[in-house]
Amino acid sequence: MTDRSVSIAQADLASGDRVPRLQLRNICKSFGGVRALKNVDFEVYGGEVVGLVGDNGAGKSTLIKTMSGAYVPDEGEVLVDGDPVTISSPQDSTRLGIETVYQDLALCDNLDVVANLWLGREAHRVLIPGVLRVLDETEMERQTIEVLKTLDVKIPSVRSPVASLSGGQRQCIAVAKTILRQPKVVLLDEPTAALGVAQTHQVLNLIRRLRERGLAVVVISHNLHDVFEVTDRIIVMRLGQRIASFETRKTSSEQVVAAITGATVKVNEDV
Amino acid sequence: MKSLDNDAHPSSEEQAIAPQLGAEGSPSQAPTTVRFNLRSFMRGDLGFIPVILTLALITIYFQVTTSGVFLQARNLSNLTQQIVVISILSVAAVLVLLLGEIDLSLAAVAQACAAIMAVVSVYQNWNPWLAILLGLVAGAVIGLINGFFVAVLRVPSFIVTLAGSIGYAGFLLLVMGRQTTLIVRDDTIRSLAPTFLAPWLGWVIPFLLVGLYGLGVWYERKRRSQAGLPLRSSLQTAIQLGCVLAITVIVVYLFQSYQGVPQAVLISLGLVVIFWLLLRKTTFGRHLYAVGGNAEAARRAGINVVGMKLTVFVMASTLAALAGIMLTSRSTAVATQVSSTLLLNAIAAAVIGGVSLFGGRGSVWAVVLGALVIGSLDNGLDLLNQDQSIKSMVQGGVLLLAVTADALVRRSGLRTGR
């Protein structure tokens, strides 16, 4: 009985001369005549939460989909821990340790929390070698409880069906599901959309927990309040270009809004 | 940017929600026993309570109106043998329903495969086991055809299997040639269904199974307590095992006091047990529920959804073929006419037992209860010498009632959220 899926990579949080966990350089992507991404650079470090903001059609989703392998960029390079890689399918990105939590959650409502967390990679117990192996429910349940505890996710019971959980709890389960695969980078697409105040709080807490574990986290959100509450850096996209980055602590929301809308306010270029 | 309005007072909100979050309770800490909770009990292993109550009401009614004939060992033995074919067909229906699909061709497939078996047995004098095997293989091939259209070409299963049921009924006519009924003379095939087990075997097999079940429960409990997971109270476990043992003893005793345990009943119950284990204890079963619950999530989790659907349709049609073979064995003949009530009774049995028509919810044990409800009504109304008109109306009414009750229970369960 190992702790293999619980031991989440603990990276050193020391900043400075670090190599980004995930880096995109000079990414271009066109759909027919529309240039969705124009020479975009992007980087996220371990133990850092980056907020990716921008108006609808600014290219946020295209950029995230480039990272998750749903789109292949026309130009540019992708580096994981400084090494150039090619991501041409979602499987590639999963293999490289990049996990995406989509808006529609991808949970099975009829299954309980344990079953959802382990879906597709269930633990087994061999009854007759080579012939019959059954689900190892005990081991899966034990590790589920452990993972949820390390992430400080609170749910009534790991055996309750996901349908009976609140939106925030479901979002947390969706994130915890990716954590079981020990990713390096977690991409969250609108993690707080359609959540209540308490639930949003719970999800933001979870994001902080991921940062403490040394993961690189990218959050796409329209909700600047949430972005300001949880991120270290904010990257603003507009019309397919990265037009500004801010250090969250030293920035006001007016500056970010101005960058998003393209209003002419002094932009404090940081990175 | 409506959210900007909130920027002014984020910290006060945070404080207000903190106690609420704490109140939700942590998953579990120490190896404590889980407190008994009626609602989770109902939704869990014994979510069948409404159906059991319905069955009890039906039983009491017929027991009174037939002045005690209904619950006699002879009648119960007949009743259980009458529902064997429905049960096997219903297991097939459950598999497909769990996937969120439907198979309307089951009855036609059953009849067509039985006809194939009968024809090679009667006209070609095939070895009976080879003939049975051919019937089952024919079922598997038909399942592959259904599955190909549903899973690979993504045609709605309703249409595919509706077209299939017409096509396979035509195929049945083709196989049978000019015959309208073909009498099977082979003794092996004829003895499949109406045979009774030797008395000692009739006791040994059920108790071996119950013993294995008890051992399994005990082993699981031991492992859970070793892993420090919460256990059910030992009282609850004892009641659970006691109920299983008591039901087994009563049923076997009743069978033994007439002619013995019918082989056909053992086969159909065996199938239910096998598929229950397959669905609950293996990866295949877990993935089947996942595909039925949310196919997209299953696909993203790396589950081969197309392969799952193909496999399930092949399984369902093979089971249908087996049901057809049992039907032939019982009636010793194959007819060109596909029974009009067989398919709907099979699906109704599944739904009465609580299998969702929308996929992902229900247990294969639903088959036993649902088939018992349908079989009891049929049998009881026969005992009362009621006309087919009355029988049909009562059966329709009970099906509607059971589904409505089930829907109401489920909805209240969803509303409370636990």
Along the 418 residues of chain B, how does pLDDT read in single tens digits?
A: 333 333 333 333 333 333 333 333 333 333 344 444 444 444 444 567 778 888 899 999 999 999 989 989 899 999 999 999 999 999 999 999 999 999 999 999 999 999 999 999 999 999 999 999 999 999 999 999 999 999 999 999 999 999 999 999 999 999 998 888 999 988 899 998 888 988 888 899 999 999 999 999 999 889 888 888 888 888 888 998 999 999 999 999 999 998 889 999 999 999 999 999 999 999 999 999 999 998 888 888 888 999 999 999 999 999 999 999 999 999 999 988 888 888 988 998 998 888 888 888 889 998 999 999 999 998 999 999 988 888 888 878 877 876 776 677 666 555 444 3
Largest CA-CA distance found in chain B, in angstroms, rounded: 89
- Distance from C-alpha of B76 to C-alpha of B251, rounded to nearest angstrom: 9
pLDDT confidence of residue B23: 36
CA distance, residue A245 to nearest chain B CA (Å): 19
- Distance from C-alpha of B339 to C-alpha of B114, rounded to nearest angstrom: 13
Nearest to B109 by CA among B193, B174, B165, B40: B165
pLDDT confidence of residue B112: 95
Q: Strands of chain A (E only): list them.
A: 22-31, 34-44, 48-54, 75-80, 83-85, 98-101, 124-128, 132-135, 185-189, 216-220, 233-238, 241-247
The answer to whether the Cβ–Cβ distance between A119 and B228 falls below 8 Å is no
pLDDT confidence of residue A258: 87
First to last CA, chain A: 45
Instruction: Tell whether A141 lies on the interface with B, counting CB pairs under 8 A.
Output: yes
pLDDT confidence of residue B81: 92
CA distance, residue A19 to nearest chain B CA (Å): 30
The answer to whether the Cβ–Cβ distance between B281 and A135 falls below 8 Å is yes
Tell me how many domains chain A contains.
Answer: 1
CATH number where A250 lies: 3.40.50.300
pLDDT confidence of residue B410: 60
Nearest to B139 by CA among B311, B320, B325: B320
pLDDT confidence of residue B5: 38
pLDDT confidence of residue A266: 52
Q: Strands of B231-372 (E only): list them.
A: 231-232, 333-335
In a domain, A210, yes or no: yes
Radius of gyration of chain A (CA): 19
Residue in B3, B223, B300 nearest the CB of A138: B223
The answer to whether the Cβ–Cβ distance between A107 and B294 falls below 8 Å is yes
Q: How large is the angle between the packed helices B49-65 and B366-383, nearest 10 degrees?
A: 20
The answer to whether the Cβ–Cβ distance between A154 and B21 falls below 8 Å is yes
Q: Which residue of A has its CA nearest to B296?
A: A106
Residue in B4, B6, B27 nearest the CB of A149: B27
Residues of A in contact with B360 (CB under 8 A): 108-111
What is the residue type of A15?
A: S
Q: Which residue of A has its CA nearest to B17?
A: A198
Tell how far CA B243 is from the center of its chain.
20
The answer to whether the Cβ–Cβ distance between A108 and B228 falls below 8 Å is no
**Main-chain dihedrals φ then ψ at residue A2, nearest 5 degrees:** -100, 170
Residues of B in contact with A262 (CB under 8 A): none
DSSP code of A112? Answer: B
In a domain, A125, yes or no: yes
Two structure tokens written together for A27:
């990414």
DSSP alpha helices (H): ranges in B301-365? 305-331, 342-352
DSSP code of B262? Answer: B
- Distance from C-alpha of A126 to C-alpha of A133, rounded to nearest angstrom: 4
- Distance from C-alpha of B7 to C-alpha of B331, rounded to nearest angstrom: 78
- Distance from C-alpha of B352 to C-alpha of B372, rounded to nearest angstrom: 10
- Distance from C-alpha of A224 to C-alpha of B3, rounded to nearest angstrom: 6
> What's the pTM value of the predicted model, to 2 decimals?
0.82
In a domain, A222, yes or no: yes
Instruction: Tell whether B19 lies on the interface with A, counting CB pairs under 8 A.
Output: no
Residues of B in contact with A196 (CB under 8 A): none
Residues 229-258 of B with CB under 8 A from A: 229
What is the residue type of A185?
A: V
pLDDT confidence of residue B418: 34
Residues of B in contact with A139 (CB under 8 A): 227
The answer to whether the Cβ–Cβ distance between A121 and B302 falls below 8 Å is yes
Is the Cβ–Cβ distance between B347 and B98 less than 8 Å?
no
In a domain, A80, yes or no: yes
- Distance from C-alpha of A187 to C-alpha of A64, rounded to nearest angstrom: 7
Residues of B in contact with A133 (CB under 8 A): 282-283
Task: Identify from B2, B20, B21 which residue to disrupt to test chain A contact, counting A C-beta atoms within 10 A and taking the largest count.
Answer: B21
How many A/B residue pairs have CB atoms within 8 Å?
A: 128
The answer to whether the Cβ–Cβ distance between B418 and A163 falls below 8 Å is no
What is the residue type of B183?
A: I
pLDDT confidence of residue B380: 92
Residue in B224, B297, B360 nearest the CB of A106: B297
Residues of B in contact with A202 (CB under 8 A): 21
**Main-chain dihedrals φ then ψ at residue A109, nearest 5 degrees:** -60, -35
Residue in A124, A149, A253 nearest the CB of B7: A253
In a domain, A232, yes or no: yes
For residue A107, the enclosing domain spans 22-261
Helices (H) and strands (E) in chain B, counts: 18, 4
The answer to whether the Cβ–Cβ distance between A142 and B24 falls below 8 Å is no
Q: Is B354 left (phi over 0), alpha (psi -120 to 50) or beta?
A: left
Q: Is A160 left (phi over 0), alpha (psi -120 to 50) or beta?
A: beta
Q: What's the CA angle centered on A138, arms A133 and A139, to 5 degrees?
A: 80
Q: Which residue of B has its CA nearest to A159?
A: B27
Residue in A148, A197, A253 nearest the CB of B4: A253
Two structure tokens written together for A223:
């909700």
- Distance from C-alpha of A182 to C-alpha of B67, rounded to nearest angstrom: 68
Block residue for tokens 């099977």: B184
| pLDDT < 50 regions, chain A | 1-15, 267, 270-271
Instruction: Tell whether A115 lies on the interface with B, counting CB pairs under 8 A.
Output: yes
The answer to whether the Cβ–Cβ distance between A198 and B17 falls below 8 Å is yes
Q: Which residue of A has its CA nearest to B223?
A: A138
pLDDT confidence of residue A34: 86
Instruction: Tell whether A222 lies on the interface with B, counting CB pairs under 8 A.
Output: yes
In a domain, A266, yes or no: no
CA distance, residue A108 to nearest chain B CA (Å): 5
Residue in B22, B28, B296 nearest the CB of A106: B296
CA distance, residue B410 to nearest chain A CA (Å): 12
- Distance from C-alpha of B354 to C-alpha of B401, rounded to nearest angstrom: 12
Instruction: Tell whether A74 lies on the interface with B, counting CB pairs under 8 A.
Output: no
DSSP alpha helices (H): ranges in B123-198? 128-147, 157-176, 187-191
Two structure tokens written together for B290:
């996942």
Using CB atoms within 10 Å of the CB of residue B163, give its burial: 0 to 12 exposed, 13 to 18 middle, 19+ buried.
middle
In a domain, A12, yes or no: no
- Distance from C-alpha of A36 to C-alpha of A64, rounded to nearest angstrom: 12
